[in-house]
């Protein structure tokens, strides 16, 4: 049976920076939630040790592709002699703050850990994944989470699961560039999840991104007509929540032509977890 594995998007429901480490990485607080929308990957084991990506990405060299890097990292760490052909259906915009690259990497680690029978625990996979990006561990954990540290200290959380309209302005934001900006607020007071749930919290990257990319400010303004709109991660995507899919779709249908958008449901359990569980159940029964 041909299995396509989900690599869902994430939203940062808020993003505060509380400090900076000596290696330049930022200490942050954020609440991650998944969307039932994302990329899909298919894996076919090979007897030789080659790792092949059957679908390339524009402007991303093979050696830099997080899918290739994840597969190679696992293969080397666990001394695996097999290889793999990997197919990708890319739906998530790159540089959108939706964590597409990190999610692709996490799905690759989770699925190959099983196909190659590496036997690593989720915790070991998350530690390995952190080498590839700050957002990889939450995708491996597979549960909505309150995150601290550089994004790796995770506590499972269960915020409401509304429908979202997510809009991608026509620009690409570099995470490293925003984090290196002198104008970024880096001294947020630490808050608790209950303070966030009762209305505190914002995305401190928003003003910096809006200044450099006015189109993000335009999308935020436009979406604010329909509710409190917020940017995810370091942008460029902006989201607003609705009680129903129909309400979100109604607004999506009125989006200006040059902005791409999609409607998706917030999920506290990652669609990847759900697929892995289904496979385990069918293997047992």
Ligand X SMILES: Nc1ncnc2c1ncn2[C@@H]1O[C@H](COP(=O)(O)OP(=O)(O)OP(=O)(O)O)[C@@H](O)[C@H]1O
Of ligand CDM, ligand X, none, which one does residue 94 interact with (CB within 5 to 8 Å by kind)?
ligand X
Of 146, 53, 51, 132, the closest CA to residue 99 belongs to: 132
Q: How far is CA 269 from CA 8, 218, 246, 254, in A?
A: 11, 32, 22, 30
Residue 165 interacts, among ligand CDM, ligand X, none and using kind-specific CB cut-offs from 5 to 8 Å, with none
Round to whole Å and give the CA distance between 66 and 111.
14
Chain residues binding ligand CDM by CB under 6 A are 12, 24-26, 28, 30, 102, 133-135, 150-151, 175-176, 179, 233-234
Stretch that binds ligand X, among 90-98, 116-124, 206-214, 242-250 (CB under 6 A): 90-98
Task: Report the nearest approach of ligand X to the CB of residue 225 (Å).
Answer: 25
Q: What amino acid positions are annotated as catalytic residues?
A: 10, 135
Residue from the set 14, 26, 104, 188 that interacts with ligand X by CB under 6 A: 104
Least distance (Å) between residue 53 CB and ligand X: 9
Smallest gap, in angstroms, from Cβ of residue 120 to ligand X? 21
Would the annotation count 96 as a binding residue?
Answer: yes
Q: Which residues pair with 132 in a beta bridge?
A: none
Closer of 102 and 203 to ligand X (Cβ)? 102
**231 carries a ligand binding annotation:** no
Instruction: State yes or no: residue 99 binds ligand X (CB under 6 A).
Output: yes
The reply, when asked if residue 94 is annotated as ligand binding, is yes
Please enumerate, by residue number, every residue annotated as part of a binding site for ATP: 93-103
């Amino acid at each position: 049976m041909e299995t396509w594995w989900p690599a869902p998007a994430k939203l940062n429901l808020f993003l505060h920076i509380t400090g900076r480490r000596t290696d330049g990485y930022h200490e942050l607080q954020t609440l991650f939630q998944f969307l039932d929308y994302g990329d899909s990957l298919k894996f076919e084991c090979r007897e030789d040790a080659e790792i092949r990506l059957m679908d390339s990405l524009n402007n991303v060299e093979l050696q830099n592709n997080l899918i290739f890097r994840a597969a190679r990292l696992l293969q080397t760490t666990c001394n695996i002699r097999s290889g793999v052909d990997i197919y990708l259906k890319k739906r998530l915009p790159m540089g959108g703050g939706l964590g597409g690259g990190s999610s692709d990497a996490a799905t690759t680690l989770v699925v190959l850990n099983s196909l190659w029978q590496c036997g690593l625990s989720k915790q070991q996979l998350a530690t390995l994944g952190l080498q590839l990006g700050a957002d990889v561990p939450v995708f491996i954990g597979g549960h909505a989470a309150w995150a601290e540290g550089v994004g790796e200290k995770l506590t499972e959380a269960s915020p409401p699961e509304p429908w979202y309209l997510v809009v991608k302005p026509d620009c690409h934001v570099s995470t490293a560039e925003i984090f290196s900006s002198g104008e970024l607020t880096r001294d947020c007071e630490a808050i608790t999840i209950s303070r966030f749930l009762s209305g505190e919290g914002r995305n401190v990257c928003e003003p910096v991104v809006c200044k450099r990319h006015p189109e993000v400010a335009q999308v935020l303004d436009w979406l604010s007509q329909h509710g409190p709109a917020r940017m995810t991660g370091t942008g460029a995507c902006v989201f607003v929540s609705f009680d129903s899919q129909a309400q979100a779709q109604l607004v999506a249908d009125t989006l200006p032509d040059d902005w791409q958008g999609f409607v998706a449901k917030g999920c506290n359990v990652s669609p990847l977890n759900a697929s892995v569980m289904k496979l385990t159940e069918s293997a047992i029964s």
